[in-house]
Each structure stands twice: as structure tokens, then as C-alpha cells.
Amino acid sequence: MEESFVLKEGVDPSEALIIARKAKTTDGIAPLSEQYLLGLEDPSMGHTHVGIFELSGTNECLVGFAAISGDSAEFVVDPDHRGKGYGTELADEVTRRGIRKIWAHGNLPSAVQLGVDRHMVVTRRLLVMGTSTLDFDVELPEGFELMNLTQAREQLIDADGQWLKANNEAFSWHPEQGGWDAARLARAQRVEWFRPDDVLFLVTDGTIAGFHWLKRHSPTLGEIYVVGLARDFRGRGLGDPLVRAGLRHLYDAGMNRVILYVEENNWPAVNAYKALGFQTEEHHVVYEPQAVDG
């Protein structure tokens, strides 16, 4: 490398966020997911941050960083300092620490090349799908009603506990969304954009059958953040009206576009969203190193 650098654990959150914002503007896609961005400023999330600092005399300048959570990592290099091998250095440092799963949001050409150079393969694919069709009529099955989180807390017994149970049953297989406890659910609500009225529940006889958690990115852009059904209510055709109800809710709030994230290999969900007018817009992937023969 032409310029000297140093890798150190710990970064200034404000400097790291500036780099992340610059990369999003340059690449047209955010380099870090929401949880990794939150982890920069919330020590309770337990993330580890490794910065790469460019050296000039006695000065050090943060030019990129990796964020590590569990067995996964994401990293970004300042667009003004790319082409110097800093991304490779961060990837190597992450793998030296035993981290095997590295996210590449958008799977940009530089990520693809790094995967080739470091003998990594894609082991997980996450799709971003979007639609401008939101004004659905909503017809709930007999015996079911919709209520938001505020109403559920007023009318149901242990609404938050029921919500948590439904989430963990719906996502028992999911590496990020499953296995939550009450503290994790509470922490997920401590974000600037959270609105209790944007968490909808499908309820029957005082029991939460499913939930649809929505997110507002702007006055016109919304997101199906999380949607799921409790174990005892699957296979009964309840997912479609629950999704439609959420889309209609955002439409009535003035939204004209909605996105969502879904695993590429979750074909039932992908096909259901396609049937509602969603189309794939982005690909996010996980790279893992593979043993090299010889």
C-alpha cells in the first residue's frame, strides 16, 4: 500500500457515521444495516468496532471501519480513500478475529472482487422488494379484528408478551429476528422512528394471531419492517389480509411507496409479495471464506 495505516479497536461514532453517510451517497445504498448503525452509539448492543486509520506524521484519520456483532460483520471505507486496499485490510482483520460472515449490502462490484480475491462465496441472499400499490381493500376473516399496539396494551392481557411469543414462533429459524427476549423487544422500540400506532395486530378472542410492524422512512416511503404469524395460526390464509392491512394503513397515512426485506430462499413469502405487486430492487448478501484446496 502506498500510504501507511494502523488498525485499532474503537472508533468515534460521529466520524464513523459521517463515513457511512458519504458511502451511501456515493454508492446509492447504505453500507451498514440499521442494527449496525445503532450499535455505533449504543454500547449495550455489544458490538465491536475496528477502525482503519491513515497516518500522516503524528496525525491519524479514520478512513474506514468494521462493525462486528456475534459471528457477523459489516464494513465500509470512506469513498475518498478507496482504491488503497483498506477494504481488504478490514476484511482480513475481521476473519483473523474468527468472524466468518461478512455482509455486502448491494453486493457492489468491489465486494464481488473482494470475494474472489479472498476465496469467499455467497452463503445468504436478502432481497429488497418494493411496490407502489398500497390501496388494497382489507377483508378480515370472521372472528378476527385489527388493533394497534396502543389499543392492544389497553385491551389485551400481556400484549407485549403475546407479541414476543408470536415473533419468536414466526422467526424461530431467523438469525436476527428470532430468539428475542423482552429486553430485546423493548430495545427495538427505542428508535427514533418507532410509532406504537404502526404496529398492527390480528386478534381473535383476546389472542394475538399475528403482527405487522411498519416503519416510516419519510412522508411518502414506508416499510414492511416485520410481519409474522403465531404458530397456531399458520396455514389458515391469515398472512395475506395482515399484509394488506399494513399496506392500507401506510396508504391512509399518505405513503405512495413501500419496501421490505425478505430472504431470497423464502419462496412462499417472495411469491406472496410478488402477487401483491412487489418487485426485487436490491440484493444484500453474506460472504463466507472457503477452504482452498492444495
Is 223 annotated as contributing to ligand binding? yes
Is 265 annotated as contributing to ligand binding? no
Q: Residue 292, SS3? A: coil
Is 195 annotated as contributing to ligand binding? no
Is 267 annotated as contributing to ligand binding? yes
Contact 285, 115 (CB under 8 A): no
> What span, in angstroms and rounded, lies between the C-alpha atoms of 45 and 141?
40
Is 34 annotated as contributing to ligand binding? yes
Is 239 annotated as contributing to ligand binding? yes
Is 142 annotated as contributing to ligand binding? no
Is 269 annotated as contributing to ligand binding? yes
Is 261 annotated as contributing to ligand binding? yes
Is 94 annotated as contributing to ligand binding? no
Is 271 annotated as contributing to ligand binding? yes
Is 154 annotated as contributing to ligand binding? no
Is 246 annotated as contributing to ligand binding? no
Is 237 annotated as contributing to ligand binding? yes
Buried/exposed code over 140-178 (b: 16+ C-beta within 10 A; e: otherwise)? beeebebbbbebbeeebeebbebbbbbbbbbbeebeebe
Is 277 annotated as contributing to ligand binding? no
Contact 257, 131 (CB under 8 A): yes
Cell digits of residue 6? 494502523
Closest CA to 135 of 36, 25, 252: 252
Amino acid letter, residue 165: K
Contact 52, 64 (CB under 8 A): yes
Is 98 annotated as contributing to ligand binding? no
Is 148 annotated as contributing to ligand binding? no
Is 199 annotated as contributing to ligand binding? no
Is 82 annotated as contributing to ligand binding? no
Is 281 annotated as contributing to ligand binding? no
Cell digits of residue 87? 477494504
Is 77 annotated as contributing to ligand binding? no
Give the residue numbers of the binding site. Answer: 34, 176, 215, 223, 227-229, 234-240, 261, 266-271
Q: Residues annotated as binding site for acetyl-CoA?
A: 227-229, 234-240, 266-271
